[in-house]
Structure 1
Amino acid sequence: MQRDFITVLTEKDVNIVTDETLREIKRHGTERFPFQYYKEHFNWSRLEAVEWHWHRELEFVEILQGAIECHIGDETIVLHEGDTFIINSGVIHKYQAPQKYREEQCVFSDILFLPEMIAPSSSLIYEKYVRPIVQHGKPFLVMHQTESWEREVCELYHHIVTICLAENDLTELRIQAGISELWARLFHVLYREETEQWENKNILAQARLRKMMQFIWDHFAEKITLDDIAHSANISKSAALRCFRSGMQTSPVGYLNDYRLHRAKELLLASHGTVSDIAVSVGFDNVGYFDRVFRRAFGLTPKQFAKQGKLERSV
């Protein structure tokens, strides 16, 4: 019988649901054992992207076949077979296929676990060895197995995976011990005191970005401007532009329009309202403009999209 903390996924199973701040709603593991191991098989021709999201869990990934492209802020990281990768807690990220791998299969494994798996948040261990990384550590770390320490980290990861798959006693205890050993090997790589000031700025930028995203989610149907979005985080328009460019690779208004278009897609499939009514309800007061930007984004006019979607559901 497959253990509860082991999950096999394909592109059909990927459904990232987030709250207003892009925090992933799904729990990885359980409250009593906040750990999950995934084996994932993606056919990139059938999956556009694993969209922007973040979670409190730390994520450790190994590419077993093919390639994957990860976006974090204004960084684009392409990972190939044999590469390993760790994403820090609270970091907004997105996965998609690299350009020349759009028609290929990608297989990777990953583990996600809360920082409290290593030690309770009130403990000395957490204070000395976990909080510094979660609060001030690098947002991500790529390992290409070219250095001896990288190979050691990969071997420790394989040890944890082996424990997950083995049918023996003390599994949860051995997993926790494996994570602690992995953490001890990564601590000095992930955390540098001299980077604390820079990382504090990065954490502040992400907090501001989430506030502005939440404002957009709450007010997208209204007439809002760049100034309104910036004001929601108590920053200037230029600072808002930098936050979105660094964190989401778009502008605040670009993100607002994308969000409005995706909400319009949902309404076109779920309601019997006119295109004009739906356009106005998601914040577009010019129906002709709505028609043009919708077609540019999705390849169909709103009417064509609604008709096609309803036909597919009736089959």
Structure 2
Amino acid sequence: MTEKEVNIVTDETLREMKKHGTERFPFQYYQEHFNWNRLETVEWHWHSELEFVEILQGAIECHIGEEIIELREGDTFFINSGVIHKYQAPKVCREKQCMFSDILFLPEIIAPNSSLIYEKYIRPIVLYGKPFLVMRQTQAWEESVQNLYHHIVNVCLAEEDLTELRIQAGVSELWTRLFHYLYREESEQQENKNILAQARLRKMMQFIWDHFHEKITLDDIAASANISKSAALRCFRSGMQTSPVGYLNDFRLNRAKELLLTSHSTVSEIAVSVGFDNVGYFDRVFRRTFGLTPKQFAKQGGECV
């Protein structure tokens, strides 16, 4: 069992930097404990690995685009490869903590991407399958999936002979049982649109990371993905629940927070360096967002109200 970092580190496209498992065996099991008094959100990220989660205690919300999925004790959850998501405390938080276990693995652990098995039974899910699937143990097939998940977890915990072989066999069986629930041939065209929207969203986020310190507009952000302003708005609304300019301002403000604590620059210099050419506006937006002026924030060492 491995502790997984709650503070997820991502690159410019929000791809999680941490590798799960090893290059020779890309599989990892985790058990995690979130204390909502100390942590409210695990921010937006995505990974190439497929993810299965079981809630052991409490509740958690998973945000995927405009979908908000509340997961409670006993639920099992699948997140497809490349899907941008975040976790946070439920709106009504009756319990102050959540415990869950999860496994992450690259699809290639089932079969090489050059194989017939990958082409017929894995690639369609990764490219056209559902972005997520919730199993609440209300049907027999859901219970069978959870039992198989428990078997894989027990293999991980036992660490006996043939562990990797038994994990690979368990994951393959798990995939076999879920294939028809994850793949909808009639919705391939719609799923293609979803994948394209995610790719465009990542391009625009990378453009913002690269150019946030410059004077950039909605037109510039949209052009970075070769789409219209209205399409850019839809991508961000669906994928991040914000607007492109809203994401840009949030990114600038969080970069400013870092600089206020780590540099010796003045507030005016920091404002300009992160893309705010009006210092008064920067001061007002910073205070509205964090509850303190930039000077107060720096003086208190980053303690927001």
TM-score (norm 2): 0.97
Q: Secondary structure at the match of 1:223?
A: coil
Cα distance in 1 for partners of 2:297, 2:213 equals: 21
**2:220 partner letter:** D
Partner residue in 2 for 1:189: 181
Q: What does 1:22-37 align with in structure 2 at a 5 Å threshold? A: 22-37=14-29
Alpha-carbon deviation of 1:236? 0.6
Partner residue in 2 for 1:3: none
Instruction: Tell which deviates more after alignment, 245-254 or 41-50.
Output: 41-50
**2:184 partner letter:** R
Q: Secondary structure at the match of 1:52?
A: strand
Partner residue in 2 for 1:8: 3
Alpha-carbon deviation of 1:8? 2.7
Q: What does 1:1-315 align with in structure 2 at a 5 Å threshold? A: 6-9=1-4, 13-101=5-93, 104-309=96-301
**1:55 partner letter:** H
Q: Secondary structure at the match of 1:99?
A: coil
Alpha-carbon deviation of 1:99? 1.6
Cα distance in 1 for partners of 2:175, 2:48 equals: 16
Q: Secondary structure at the match of 2:54?
A: strand
Task: Answer yes or no: is the 8 Å Cα contact 1:156–1:182 preserved in 2.
Answer: yes
Mind listing any 5+ residue stretches in structure 2 that lack a counterpart? Answer: none
CA displacement, residues 142-191 of structure 1 (integer Å, 9 cap, x when unaligned): 11110111101100100000100114200010000000000000000000
Alpha-carbon deviation of 1:244? 0.3
Q: Flag the 1:310–1:39 CA change in 2: closer, same or farther, 3 A.
A: closer
Q: Percent identical across equivalent pairs?
A: 83
Q: Secondary structure at the match of 1:309?
A: coil
Q: Flag the 1:239–1:271 CA change in 2: closer, same or farther, 3 A.
A: same
**2:281 partner letter:** Y
Task: Answer yes or no: is the 8 Å Cα contact 2:256–2:270 preserved in 1.
Answer: yes
Task: Answer yes or no: is the 8 Å Cα contact 1:291–1:302 preserved in 2.
Answer: yes
Task: Answer yes or no: is the 8 Å Cα contact 2:29–2:101 preserved in 1.
Answer: yes
Q: Secondary structure at the match of 1:38?
A: strand
> Alpha carbon RMSD of aligned pairs, Å?
1.2
Mind listing any 5+ residue stretches in structure 1 that lack a counterpart? Answer: 1-5
Question: Which segments of structure 1 move beyond 6 Å, counting only runs of 4 or more?
Answer: none
Alpha-carbon deviation of 1:297? 1.5
Instruction: Tell which deviates more after alignment, 27-36 or 299-308.
Output: 299-308
Alpha-carbon deviation of 1:310? 7.3
CA displacement, residues 187-243 of structure 1 (integer Å, 9 cap, x when unaligned): 000001001000000000001101110110010001111011111111110000000
Task: Answer yes or no: is the 8 Å Cα contact 1:45–1:103 preserved in 2.
Answer: no
Cα distance in 2 for partners of 1:201, 1:183 equals: 24
**1:8 partner letter:** E
**1:299 partner letter:** G
Q: Secondary structure at the match of 1:20?
A: coil
